[in-house]
């Protein structure tokens, strides 16, 4: 990881704003978070994203996106001194692709993201790109694109009269990005031994991933998709290496799935279903084992005038088998938003919950967005973690915070 200083980051942001293409766009924002359960600065975030397109012939164009982000987080309360700050800064290429049309084929070659399925926050079918976990889910609760890690791949889509077929060949392998050491969302904060990574190498024939999706419309209003994936699991399992030290192991993943979306009585109903045979899990002995996992999601969207709401529910099953303990986990999201003053003012609330083995945790984000101009907006609100102390969200109750954010796009 390349680490840059704050002055260098500011210079990088300025460089990103230089116009080099008529289709370029820059987004810049600064966000300050202030702790509520544990008072004081929780985080500072400096963000700049520069994207655009360049002509590359009659049937092709090049697309690019560069993102600079500096994240200054406090150490995890209760484990380290919360006055300590963990600094993580990166300047990275988020997209660099050659996009071409050839007859009924669309080719997208290079570093990119691929979105699968109908889920908003819960990854039932959206398994192609791993996630950036440095801020828990705060990085992508408003924009999931910011939470995915792009991969270099060949993305070929054949257009059909009633849908399309998409083929992905992915030579690059990435592990999910973990929080900075001892930062507020670091699950290993305070541990004297950090886990090692057991991750396959990229760009070899043995580690290649492949995926196929067939999407079509049935009976006019039913948007259906069939999916298959053979690649790498974005959720590593925690094991021990030969010397007894903790090790995060990234293993192969197989998936077959179905998605559906259709309007019913003024609502949009969406759903995903996935079956993952031979998934690698940690068994009772702390060793890698295999079991067949499955997941399902259903969601409902409704909008009326300036009001919108969305509800999604996901369930994940792991059957008991040999030394593998059976498990079931549930996730739910509920979002409401209302626009005022000719859509210049938005009041929004997002609630996420996660429940497993009787332990339920919640994340609630209430925010108010005011658009000063078409290009500049101000966003403020409160983020609350609560619930069982051993749940996915409840364990971070000390990280509840107030935040203020100012954004500009030009």
Token pair 């996935």 in the structure block, residue: 274
Q: Locate the DSSP E strands across 5-56.
A: 25-35, 40-55
Series of mean pLDDT values for 10-residue runs along the chain (410 residues): 43 43 70 88 91 89 92 80 76 95 96 96 95 87 89 97 96 92 84 84 94 94 97 92 86 97 96 97 90 97 96 96 90 97 95 95 97 94 95 91 93
What is the per-residue pLDDT across 357-375, written as a single tens digit (0 to 9) for each?
899 999 999 999 999 999 9
pLDDT at 373: 93
Query: Are β-strands 246-249 and 196-198 bridged in parallel, bridged antiparallel, or unpaired?
Result: parallel
pTM for the predicted model, two decimal places: 0.90
Cα–Cα distances (Å) from 308 to 27, 302, 336, 362, in that order, read 25, 6, 6, 21
The residues, any chain, with a CB within 8 Å of residue 213's CB and separated by 6 or more, are: 116, 165, 166, 225, 226, 227, 228
């Amino acid at each position: 990881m390349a680490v840059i200083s704050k002055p260098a980051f500011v210079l990088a942001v300025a460089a990103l704003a230089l116009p080099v293409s008529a289709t370029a766009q820059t987004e810049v924002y600064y966000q300050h978070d202030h702790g509520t359960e544990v008072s004081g600065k929780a985080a500072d975030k400096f963000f700049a994203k520069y994207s655009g397109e360049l002509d590359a012939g009659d049937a092709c164009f090049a697309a690019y996106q560069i993102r600079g982000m500096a994240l200054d987080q406090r150490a995890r309360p209760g484990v380290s001194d919360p006055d300590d700050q963990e600094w993580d800064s990166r300047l990275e290429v988020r997209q660099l692709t050659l996009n071409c049309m050839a007859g009924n084929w669309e080719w997208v070659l290079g570093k990119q993201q691929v979105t699968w399925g109908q889920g908003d926050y819960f990854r039932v079918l959206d398994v192609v790109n791993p996630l950036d976990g440095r801020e828990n889910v705060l990085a992508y609760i408003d924009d999931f694109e910011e939470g995915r890690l792009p991969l270099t791949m060949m993305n070929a889509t054949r257009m059909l009269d009633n849908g399309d077929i998409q083929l992905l060949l992915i030579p690059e392998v990435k592990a999910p990005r973990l929080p900075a050491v001892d930062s507020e969302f670091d699950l290993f904060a305070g541990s004297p031994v950090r886990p090692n990574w057991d991750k396959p190498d990229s760009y070899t024939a043995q580690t290649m991933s492949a995926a196929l999706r067939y999407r079509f419309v049935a009976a006019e209003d039913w948007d259906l998709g069939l999916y298959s994936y053979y690649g790498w699991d974005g959720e590593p399992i925690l094991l021990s290496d030969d010397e007894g030290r903790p090790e995060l192991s990234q293993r192969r993943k197989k998936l077959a799935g179905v998605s559906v979306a259709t309007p019913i009585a003024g609502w949009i109903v969406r759903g995903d279903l996935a079956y993952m045979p031979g998934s690698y899990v940690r068994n009772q002995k702390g060793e890698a084992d295999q079991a067949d996992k499955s997941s399902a999601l259903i969601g409902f969207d409704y909008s009326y005038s300036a009001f919108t709401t969305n509800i999604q529910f996901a369930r994940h099953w792991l059957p008991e088998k040999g030394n593998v303990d059976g498990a079931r986990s549930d996730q739910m999201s509920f979002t409401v938003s209302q626009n005022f003053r000719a859509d210049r003012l938005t009041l929004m609330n997002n609630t996420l919950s996660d429940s497993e083995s009787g332990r339920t945790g919640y994340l609630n984000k209430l925010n108010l967005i005011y658009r000063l101009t078409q290009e500049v907006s101000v966003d403020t609100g409160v983020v609350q973690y609560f619930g069982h102390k051993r749940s996915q969200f409840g364990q971070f109750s000390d990280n509840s915070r107030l935040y203020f954010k100012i954004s500009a796009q030009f």
